[in-house]
Amino acid sequence: MSEPMRTLLADLETALEGQRPCVCCLVAATRGSTPQKAGAAMLVFADGRQCGTLGGGCVEAEVRQRALRVLADGCGSPELMTFCLDDNYGWDDGLICGGRMTILADPLTSGRAADYYRCLRGLVESGRGCTQTIALASTFGLQIGDRFLFDETGSPIARTTESLPPPEISNALKRLTDRPAPFCLHDIAYLPILPRITLLIVGAGHVGQAVARLASDVDFDVWVVDDRASFANRERFPTAERLLVGDIGSTLRELTPTITPSTYGLIVTRGHNHDEEALYHLAAAPGGYLGMIGSKRKIKLIFEDLLAKGVPSDSLARVHAPLGLDIGSQTVPEIAVSIVAELIACRNLGPERAPRPRGAPLAPRRAASGEARAKQEETIHP
Protein backbone atom coordinates (compact mmCIF):
# COMPACT_ATOMS: atom_id res chain seq x y z
CA MET A 1 0.00 0.00 0.00
CA SER A 2 1.28 3.47 -0.87
CA GLU A 3 2.78 5.94 1.57
CA PRO A 4 -0.25 8.32 1.31
CA MET A 5 -2.56 5.48 2.40
CA ARG A 6 -0.29 4.62 5.32
CA THR A 7 -0.40 8.28 6.34
CA LEU A 8 -4.20 8.22 6.10
CA LEU A 9 -4.43 5.16 8.35
CA ALA A 10 -2.11 6.78 10.88
CA ASP A 11 -4.32 9.92 10.92
CA LEU A 12 -7.42 7.77 11.25
CA GLU A 13 -6.05 5.80 14.19
CA THR A 14 -5.04 9.03 15.93
CA ALA A 15 -8.50 10.51 15.40
CA LEU A 16 -10.27 7.44 16.75
CA GLU A 17 -8.00 7.22 19.78
CA GLY A 18 -8.65 10.91 20.46
CA GLN A 19 -12.40 10.42 19.92
CA ARG A 20 -12.44 12.96 17.11
CA PRO A 21 -15.37 12.18 14.81
CA CYS A 22 -14.57 11.81 11.13
CA VAL A 23 -16.04 10.29 8.00
CA CYS A 24 -14.06 7.70 6.08
CA CYS A 25 -14.98 8.03 2.40
CA LEU A 26 -13.89 4.91 0.53
CA VAL A 27 -14.05 4.03 -3.14
CA ALA A 28 -15.67 0.62 -2.69
CA ALA A 29 -16.16 -0.29 -6.35
CA THR A 30 -15.55 1.13 -9.81
CA ARG A 31 -16.52 0.32 -13.36
CA GLY A 32 -14.83 1.65 -16.48
CA SER A 33 -12.46 4.61 -16.44
CA THR A 34 -12.35 6.51 -13.12
CA PRO A 35 -9.88 8.96 -11.54
CA GLN A 36 -9.33 6.59 -8.60
CA LYS A 37 -9.77 2.85 -8.27
CA ALA A 38 -11.38 0.76 -5.55
CA GLY A 39 -9.52 1.07 -2.27
CA ALA A 40 -8.77 4.79 -2.51
CA ALA A 41 -9.94 6.69 0.56
CA MET A 42 -10.39 10.17 2.01
CA LEU A 43 -10.95 11.24 5.61
CA VAL A 44 -13.10 14.29 6.33
CA PHE A 45 -13.03 15.97 9.76
CA ALA A 46 -15.54 18.34 11.33
CA ASP A 47 -13.15 21.28 11.07
CA GLY A 48 -13.02 20.85 7.29
CA ARG A 49 -9.63 19.20 7.17
CA GLN A 50 -9.26 16.20 4.89
CA CYS A 51 -6.64 13.52 4.33
CA GLY A 52 -6.36 11.50 1.14
CA THR A 53 -8.20 11.92 -2.13
CA LEU A 54 -10.94 10.37 -4.24
CA GLY A 55 -9.44 11.80 -7.40
CA GLY A 56 -10.42 15.44 -7.06
CA GLY A 57 -13.05 17.26 -9.07
CA CYS A 58 -16.81 17.45 -8.57
CA VAL A 59 -17.16 13.95 -7.15
CA GLU A 60 -14.68 14.56 -4.36
CA ALA A 61 -16.20 17.97 -3.64
CA GLU A 62 -19.72 16.55 -3.36
CA VAL A 63 -18.64 13.63 -1.16
CA ARG A 64 -16.78 16.05 1.09
CA GLN A 65 -19.85 18.28 1.46
CA ARG A 66 -22.06 15.31 2.32
CA ALA A 67 -19.51 14.12 4.86
CA LEU A 68 -19.43 17.55 6.51
CA ARG A 69 -23.24 17.57 6.72
CA VAL A 70 -23.18 14.14 8.34
CA LEU A 71 -20.68 15.37 10.93
CA ALA A 72 -22.72 18.51 11.60
CA ASP A 73 -25.95 16.52 12.01
CA GLY A 74 -24.33 13.88 14.19
CA CYS A 75 -25.71 11.07 12.02
CA GLY A 76 -23.87 7.80 12.45
CA SER A 77 -25.20 5.76 9.54
CA PRO A 78 -23.02 4.84 6.56
CA GLU A 79 -24.14 6.24 3.21
CA LEU A 80 -23.53 4.64 -0.16
CA MET A 81 -23.16 6.99 -3.13
CA THR A 82 -22.86 6.14 -6.80
CA PHE A 83 -21.53 8.58 -9.39
CA CYS A 84 -21.66 8.16 -13.15
CA LEU A 85 -18.79 10.18 -14.56
CA ASP A 86 -20.60 11.68 -17.50
CA ASP A 87 -21.44 15.26 -18.39
CA ASN A 88 -22.81 16.03 -14.92
CA TYR A 89 -19.50 15.32 -13.20
CA GLY A 90 -17.01 15.99 -15.95
CA TRP A 91 -17.44 19.28 -17.74
CA ASP A 92 -16.28 21.56 -14.92
CA ASP A 93 -13.02 19.66 -14.51
CA GLY A 94 -12.49 18.36 -18.01
CA LEU A 95 -12.69 14.81 -16.66
CA ILE A 96 -15.43 12.95 -18.53
CA CYS A 97 -14.14 9.48 -17.71
CA GLY A 98 -17.33 7.63 -18.58
CA GLY A 99 -16.98 5.24 -15.65
CA ARG A 100 -18.86 4.71 -12.42
CA MET A 101 -17.71 5.04 -8.80
CA THR A 102 -19.42 3.62 -5.73
CA ILE A 103 -18.29 5.44 -2.60
CA LEU A 104 -19.06 4.55 0.99
CA ALA A 105 -19.14 7.47 3.43
CA ASP A 106 -18.77 5.90 6.87
CA PRO A 107 -18.95 8.05 10.04
CA LEU A 108 -16.49 6.59 12.51
CA THR A 109 -16.31 6.64 16.27
CA SER A 110 -14.27 4.69 18.77
CA GLY A 111 -15.03 1.12 19.81
CA ARG A 112 -15.01 -1.61 17.20
CA ALA A 113 -13.95 0.83 14.47
CA ALA A 114 -10.84 1.78 16.44
CA ASP A 115 -9.89 -1.87 16.94
CA TYR A 116 -10.53 -2.65 13.29
CA TYR A 117 -8.41 0.18 11.90
CA ARG A 118 -5.65 -0.40 14.43
CA CYS A 119 -5.42 -3.98 13.19
CA LEU A 120 -5.59 -2.88 9.54
CA ARG A 121 -2.80 -0.36 10.02
CA GLY A 122 -0.62 -2.96 11.71
CA LEU A 123 -0.96 -5.34 8.76
CA VAL A 124 -0.31 -2.57 6.23
CA GLU A 125 2.77 -1.33 8.07
CA SER A 126 4.15 -4.86 8.25
CA GLY A 127 3.69 -5.28 4.50
CA ARG A 128 2.13 -8.69 4.98
CA GLY A 129 -1.04 -8.06 2.97
CA CYS A 130 -4.69 -8.51 3.89
CA THR A 131 -8.21 -8.27 2.45
CA GLN A 132 -11.04 -5.97 3.50
CA THR A 133 -14.61 -6.97 2.72
CA ILE A 134 -17.42 -4.43 2.91
CA ALA A 135 -21.18 -4.96 2.68
CA LEU A 136 -22.68 -2.65 0.04
CA ALA A 137 -26.25 -3.80 0.74
CA SER A 138 -28.23 -5.70 3.36
CA THR A 139 -26.96 -9.13 2.40
CA PHE A 140 -26.05 -12.30 4.30
CA GLY A 141 -27.65 -10.71 7.37
CA LEU A 142 -25.25 -7.76 7.26
CA GLN A 143 -25.85 -4.02 7.12
CA ILE A 144 -24.37 -1.52 4.66
CA GLY A 145 -20.84 -0.65 5.75
CA ASP A 146 -20.16 -3.78 7.81
CA ARG A 147 -16.51 -4.71 7.39
CA PHE A 148 -14.39 -7.79 7.93
CA LEU A 149 -10.61 -7.92 7.81
CA PHE A 150 -8.79 -11.09 6.76
CA ASP A 151 -5.06 -11.65 7.05
CA GLU A 152 -2.83 -13.00 4.28
CA THR A 153 -3.90 -16.57 5.06
CA GLY A 154 -7.62 -15.74 4.74
CA SER A 155 -8.26 -15.89 8.50
CA PRO A 156 -10.70 -13.27 9.90
CA ILE A 157 -8.93 -11.05 12.41
CA ALA A 158 -11.10 -7.94 12.85
CA ARG A 159 -14.63 -6.70 12.18
CA THR A 160 -16.79 -3.62 12.70
CA THR A 161 -19.97 -5.56 13.45
CA GLU A 162 -21.12 -8.02 16.08
CA SER A 163 -21.74 -10.57 13.33
CA LEU A 164 -19.21 -13.16 12.32
CA PRO A 165 -18.15 -13.26 8.66
CA PRO A 166 -20.60 -15.41 6.68
CA PRO A 167 -19.03 -18.46 5.03
CA GLU A 168 -20.03 -17.08 1.61
CA ILE A 169 -17.56 -14.22 2.14
CA SER A 170 -14.72 -16.39 3.40
CA ASN A 171 -15.20 -18.81 0.50
CA ALA A 172 -14.96 -16.02 -2.08
CA LEU A 173 -11.59 -14.68 -0.89
CA LYS A 174 -8.77 -14.86 -3.41
CA ARG A 175 -5.19 -15.79 -2.60
CA LEU A 176 -2.98 -12.75 -2.20
CA THR A 177 -0.11 -14.63 -3.81
CA ASP A 178 -2.11 -14.36 -7.05
CA ARG A 179 -2.16 -10.55 -6.58
CA PRO A 180 -5.92 -10.20 -7.19
CA ALA A 181 -7.60 -6.93 -8.12
CA PRO A 182 -10.55 -5.54 -6.14
CA PHE A 183 -13.90 -7.06 -7.07
CA CYS A 184 -17.56 -7.22 -6.01
CA LEU A 185 -19.65 -10.34 -5.55
CA HIS A 186 -23.19 -10.55 -4.15
CA ASP A 187 -23.06 -6.91 -2.96
CA ILE A 188 -19.81 -7.49 -1.06
CA ALA A 189 -16.76 -5.46 -2.01
CA TYR A 190 -13.46 -7.33 -1.74
CA LEU A 191 -10.50 -4.97 -1.39
CA PRO A 192 -7.19 -6.85 -1.27
CA ILE A 193 -4.13 -5.03 0.02
CA LEU A 194 -1.30 -6.92 -1.59
CA PRO A 195 1.90 -7.87 0.24
CA ARG A 196 4.54 -5.19 -0.16
CA ILE A 197 7.32 -6.16 -2.56
CA THR A 198 10.89 -6.44 -1.31
CA LEU A 199 13.34 -5.42 -4.05
CA LEU A 200 16.68 -7.14 -3.52
CA ILE A 201 19.29 -5.12 -5.43
CA VAL A 202 22.55 -7.02 -5.83
CA GLY A 203 25.14 -4.37 -6.60
CA ALA A 204 25.49 -0.94 -5.02
CA GLY A 205 26.97 0.85 -8.01
CA HIS A 206 25.51 3.73 -10.01
CA VAL A 207 22.60 1.76 -11.50
CA GLY A 208 21.73 0.11 -8.19
CA GLN A 209 21.75 3.48 -6.46
CA ALA A 210 19.53 5.12 -9.09
CA VAL A 211 17.08 2.19 -9.09
CA ALA A 212 16.89 2.16 -5.28
CA ARG A 213 15.95 5.83 -5.20
CA LEU A 214 13.13 5.46 -7.71
CA ALA A 215 11.91 2.14 -6.35
CA SER A 216 11.56 3.54 -2.84
CA ASP A 217 9.48 6.39 -4.23
CA VAL A 218 7.00 3.91 -5.71
CA ASP A 219 6.71 1.84 -2.51
CA PHE A 220 9.15 -1.02 -2.89
CA ASP A 221 11.04 -2.11 0.23
CA VAL A 222 14.62 -1.89 -0.97
CA TRP A 223 17.39 -4.23 0.24
CA VAL A 224 20.92 -3.74 -1.09
CA VAL A 225 23.65 -6.40 -1.24
CA ASP A 226 27.29 -5.60 -1.97
CA ASP A 227 30.70 -6.64 -0.71
CA ARG A 228 31.90 -3.02 -0.37
CA ALA A 229 30.92 -0.96 2.66
CA SER A 230 32.11 2.14 0.84
CA PHE A 231 29.25 1.66 -1.64
CA ALA A 232 26.49 -0.10 0.33
CA ASN A 233 26.05 2.55 3.00
CA ARG A 234 23.35 4.83 4.36
CA GLU A 235 24.76 7.92 2.67
CA ARG A 236 24.35 6.40 -0.80
CA PHE A 237 21.13 4.52 0.00
CA PRO A 238 19.19 6.66 2.50
CA THR A 239 15.82 5.02 1.72
CA ALA A 240 16.93 1.37 1.80
CA GLU A 241 15.26 -0.86 4.37
CA ARG A 242 18.36 -3.03 4.72
CA LEU A 243 22.01 -2.80 3.70
CA LEU A 244 23.77 -6.17 3.56
CA VAL A 245 27.54 -5.90 3.27
CA GLY A 246 29.54 -9.07 2.78
CA ASP A 247 30.59 -11.67 0.28
CA ILE A 248 27.88 -11.70 -2.39
CA GLY A 249 27.65 -15.46 -2.73
CA SER A 250 27.55 -16.13 1.00
CA THR A 251 25.02 -13.37 1.61
CA LEU A 252 22.67 -14.61 -1.10
CA ARG A 253 23.04 -18.19 0.08
CA GLU A 254 21.76 -17.11 3.49
CA LEU A 255 18.93 -15.02 2.00
CA THR A 256 17.65 -17.59 -0.49
CA PRO A 257 15.48 -19.54 2.01
CA THR A 258 13.60 -16.33 2.86
CA ILE A 259 12.73 -15.44 -0.76
CA THR A 260 9.02 -15.55 -1.62
CA PRO A 261 6.89 -14.42 -4.58
CA SER A 262 6.87 -11.02 -2.85
CA THR A 263 10.64 -10.75 -3.40
CA TYR A 264 12.02 -9.24 -6.60
CA GLY A 265 15.70 -9.72 -7.43
CA LEU A 266 17.80 -7.31 -9.47
CA ILE A 267 21.39 -8.14 -10.43
CA VAL A 268 23.44 -5.03 -11.28
CA THR A 269 26.90 -5.78 -9.92
CA ARG A 270 30.19 -4.35 -11.14
CA GLY A 271 31.39 -7.41 -13.04
CA HIS A 272 30.46 -10.56 -14.95
CA ASN A 273 31.73 -12.93 -12.26
CA HIS A 274 29.62 -11.30 -9.55
CA ASP A 275 26.59 -11.26 -11.85
CA GLU A 276 27.00 -14.95 -12.60
CA GLU A 277 27.45 -15.83 -8.93
CA ALA A 278 24.33 -13.86 -7.97
CA LEU A 279 22.27 -15.47 -10.72
CA TYR A 280 23.48 -18.91 -9.68
CA HIS A 281 21.99 -18.40 -6.22
CA LEU A 282 18.80 -16.59 -7.26
CA ALA A 283 17.75 -18.31 -10.49
CA ALA A 284 15.87 -21.18 -8.86
CA ALA A 285 14.54 -19.17 -5.89
CA PRO A 286 10.75 -18.62 -5.87
CA GLY A 287 10.92 -14.84 -6.30
CA GLY A 288 8.27 -12.97 -8.24
CA TYR A 289 10.79 -11.31 -10.58
CA LEU A 290 14.46 -11.70 -11.40
CA GLY A 291 16.40 -9.43 -13.73
CA MET A 292 20.04 -8.99 -14.73
CA ILE A 293 21.67 -6.11 -16.55
CA GLY A 294 24.02 -6.64 -19.46
CA SER A 295 24.57 -7.06 -23.17
CA LYS A 296 23.23 -10.01 -25.12
CA ARG A 297 26.71 -11.47 -25.42
CA LYS A 298 27.39 -11.29 -21.70
CA ILE A 299 24.02 -12.83 -20.84
CA LYS A 300 24.52 -15.64 -23.36
CA LEU A 301 27.91 -16.53 -21.85
CA ILE A 302 26.59 -16.44 -18.29
CA PHE A 303 23.57 -18.57 -19.17
CA GLU A 304 25.78 -21.13 -20.90
CA ASP A 305 28.04 -21.33 -17.83
CA LEU A 306 25.06 -21.78 -15.47
CA LEU A 307 23.46 -24.44 -17.67
CA ALA A 308 26.75 -26.32 -17.52
CA LYS A 309 26.67 -26.03 -13.72
CA GLY A 310 23.24 -27.61 -13.60
CA VAL A 311 20.99 -24.59 -13.27
CA PRO A 312 17.67 -25.59 -14.93
CA SER A 313 16.89 -23.94 -18.23
CA ASP A 314 13.37 -23.19 -16.99
CA SER A 315 14.85 -21.11 -14.16
CA LEU A 316 16.94 -19.10 -16.60
CA ALA A 317 14.04 -18.67 -19.03
CA ARG A 318 12.16 -16.53 -16.52
CA VAL A 319 15.08 -14.11 -16.03
CA HIS A 320 14.52 -10.64 -17.42
CA ALA A 321 17.80 -10.17 -19.23
CA PRO A 322 18.57 -7.69 -20.56
CA LEU A 323 16.18 -5.93 -18.23
CA GLY A 324 14.06 -2.81 -18.39
CA LEU A 325 11.36 -1.63 -20.77
CA ASP A 326 12.59 -0.49 -24.17
CA ILE A 327 12.43 3.29 -23.91
CA GLY A 328 15.70 3.98 -25.75
CA SER A 329 17.46 4.75 -22.47
CA GLN A 330 21.02 6.07 -22.72
CA THR A 331 22.02 7.42 -19.30
CA VAL A 332 22.05 5.79 -15.88
CA PRO A 333 18.93 7.68 -14.69
CA GLU A 334 17.11 6.69 -17.89
CA ILE A 335 18.16 3.05 -17.46
CA ALA A 336 16.85 3.20 -13.88
CA VAL A 337 13.51 4.53 -15.13
CA SER A 338 13.23 1.67 -17.63
CA ILE A 339 14.04 -0.90 -14.94
CA VAL A 340 11.64 0.48 -12.34
CA ALA A 341 8.90 0.74 -14.97
CA GLU A 342 9.34 -2.99 -15.63
CA LEU A 343 9.24 -3.72 -11.90
CA ILE A 344 6.01 -1.75 -11.55
CA ALA A 345 4.47 -3.57 -14.50
CA CYS A 346 5.29 -6.97 -12.96
CA ARG A 347 3.97 -5.89 -9.56
CA ASN A 348 0.74 -4.33 -10.82
CA LEU A 349 -0.06 -6.57 -13.79
CA GLY A 350 1.64 -9.80 -12.80
CA PRO A 351 4.59 -11.42 -14.60
CA GLU A 352 2.36 -13.01 -17.22
CA ARG A 353 0.79 -9.71 -18.28
CA ALA A 354 3.81 -7.45 -17.97
CA PRO A 355 5.07 -6.11 -21.32
CA ARG A 356 8.00 -8.47 -21.69
CA PRO A 357 8.31 -11.23 -24.31
CA ARG A 358 9.43 -14.54 -22.83
CA GLY A 359 12.27 -16.08 -24.75
CA ALA A 360 14.55 -19.06 -24.35
CA PRO A 361 17.48 -18.38 -22.01
CA LEU A 362 20.03 -18.40 -24.83
CA ALA A 363 17.92 -16.07 -26.97
CA PRO A 364 17.15 -13.18 -24.60
CA ARG A 365 15.15 -10.21 -25.71
CA ARG A 366 16.55 -6.95 -27.02
CA ALA A 367 18.20 -4.73 -24.44
CA ALA A 368 16.06 -1.89 -23.11
CA SER A 369 18.59 0.66 -24.32
CA GLY A 370 19.47 -1.02 -27.60
CA GLU A 371 23.09 -1.06 -28.72
CA ALA A 372 23.87 1.78 -26.31
CA ARG A 373 23.29 -0.58 -23.38
CA ALA A 374 25.99 -2.95 -24.62
CA LYS A 375 28.45 -0.10 -25.08
CA GLN A 376 27.73 1.33 -21.65
CA GLU A 377 27.80 -1.93 -19.75
CA GLU A 378 31.38 -1.54 -18.57
CA THR A 379 31.10 2.17 -17.75
CA ILE A 380 27.92 2.26 -15.67
CA HIS A 381 29.45 0.07 -12.98
CA PRO A 382 32.20 1.55 -10.81
pLDDT in tens, 205-226: 999 999 999 999 999 999 999 9
Last residue of a domain, one of 164, 195, 226: 195
Domain boundary among 146, 170, 195: 195
pLDDT value for 316: 95
- In DSSP terms, which residues pair with 149 in a beta bridge? 132, 158
Q: 95 and 147: one domain?
A: no
For residues 184-209, give the mean pLDDT.
96
**Do 31 and 81 fall within a single domain?**
yes
| The pLDDT of residue 97 is above 70 | no
How many structural domains are present in the chain?
3
In a domain, 262, yes or no: yes
pLDDT digits (tens, 9 = 90+) for 292-342: 999 889 999 999 999 999 999 999 999 999 889 989 999 999 999 999 999
Does 72 reside within a domain?
Answer: yes
Q: Distance between the two ends of the chain, CA-based, in angstroms?
A: 34
Query: Can you give the pLDDT at residue 382?
Result: 42
Looking at the structure, do residues 217 and 168 belong to the same domain, yes or no? no
Distances (CA, A) of 343 to 56, 62, 80, 211, 291: 28, 36, 36, 10, 9
DSSP secondary structure string, 187-225?
A: TEEEEEEPPPPEEEEE--SHHHHHHHHHHHHTT-EEEEE
Q: Are residues 125 and 203 in the same domain?
A: no
Higher confidence at residue 204 or residue 358? 204
Report whether pLDDT(140) > 50. Answer: yes
Q: Which domain holds residue 362?
A: 198-376
Domain end (from 61, 81, 108): 108
**One domain, residues 42 and 137:** no
* Whether the predicted pLDDT of 357 surpasses 70: no
